[in-house]
Amino acid sequence: MDYLWAFLAGGALCAIGQLLIDLTSMTPARILVTYVVAGVFLGAVGVYEPYAEFAGAGATVPLTGFGYQLAKGVREAVTADGLIGALTGGLEACAGGITAAVVFALIVALLFTRGDKTAKITGQS
Amino acid sequence: MKLTENEYGALAKRRSPDTKLYKTIPGAFVIGGLICCTGQLLLNLYSSAGLDKTAAGTLTSVTLVALSALLTGFGLYDKIAKHAGAGTLVPITGFANAVVSPALEFKTEGYVLGVGAKIFLIAGPVIVYGLAASALYGIILFITQAV
């Protein structure tokens, strides 16, 4: 059952993103920024928590879930440590995902080479 | 022929083929949904292995990021993305793809200002505005808790 909810909830968030791409001229980068900030907002007002309870990975895998993690981390840190938590809680909660992305990107860049557009633009082969 | 920016925009819009919503939306829905199901599968696996909720969630994100990085390296993620649109953009795998792709593409410009700098080409703004929003929330929360 949790797979069905993950599929429907995650699919719906992606469909909204596709709608934004098709109907407005938003670039992928702007979509990602919008999703993260929306996730922080929805997490802050307490809407995302119950949504994540029943949608599982359908709520945490889309990038709004990343924003929700930021908000949740800040809330826990502010409650525990006071104002300094506003600066420490967010990154702490998302450290794993961000560090993984950077480290794996570096490894892939070391291992793979792409005969890509950049090479053509700069005139190298 | 001289065109104002508005006239050019209208002309470009008329010339470009209509985006077929009945094709793009289901594609994004199904592929995005399947990526989330993969996440759910990993989450269930890690949970049944005895990890607590937070650790299982983090490890799920890390695994998806690793898979996406590998697929991006082989050039497969972009092939799926052609049919999926936002379905491969919105999940965390899309974030990972946005980190790995420029790292690969700008390898020709060296490891410091090429790979090292361009890794944050799209991830940078996401982290900047996400952290800013969360810090703002923290300050508001602190004030409301103090009152």
What digits encode the pLDDT tens for the residues A85-125? 999 999 999 999 999 999 999 999 999 987 544 443 444 43
- The predicted structure's pLDDT at residue A60: 96
CA dist B116 and B40 (Å) reads 32
Across the interface, of A10, A102, A124, the residue whose CB is closest to B36 is A10
Q: Is B6 on the interface with A (CB under 8 A)?
A: no
Lowest mean pLDDT: which of A28-37, A70-79, B14-23, B52-61? B14-23
Q: Is B66 on the interface with A (CB under 8 A)?
A: yes
Percent pLDDT > 90 in chain B is 82
A68-93 average pLDDT score = 96
- Virtual CA dihedral for B29, B89, A47, A98, nearest 10 degrees? 150
C-alpha pair distances (Å), A19 with each of A105, A118, B82, B141: 29, 30, 16, 33
C-beta separation of A1 from A9 below 8 A: no
Q: Which residue of B has its CA nearest to A31?
A: B90
- Domain ranges in chain A are 2-94
CA dist A18 and A24 (Å) reads 10
B111-120 average pLDDT score = 94
pLDDT band at B77 (very low <50, low <70, confident <90, very high): very high
pLDDT at B101 over 60: yes
Cβ partners under 8 Å of residue A6, min gap 6: A55, A56, A57, A58, A61, B33, B36, B37, B39, B40
- Dihedral sign of CA atoms B51, B56, B58, B59 in order: positive
Give the global pTM: 0.88
CA A8 to chain centre: 18
Mean pLDDT, all residues of chain A: 91
Within 10 A of B78 (CB to CB), how many other CB atoms are there? 13
Q: What does the block give as tokens for A43? A: 């997490």
SS3 A62: strand
CA dist A26 and B28 (Å) reads 16
Higher pLDDT, B55 or B16: B55
Interface A-B: count of C-beta contacts within 8 A: 284
B79-100 average pLDDT score = 95
CA dist B146 and B141 (Å) reads 9
- Domain ranges in chain B are 19-146
C-beta separation of A70 from A40 below 8 A: yes
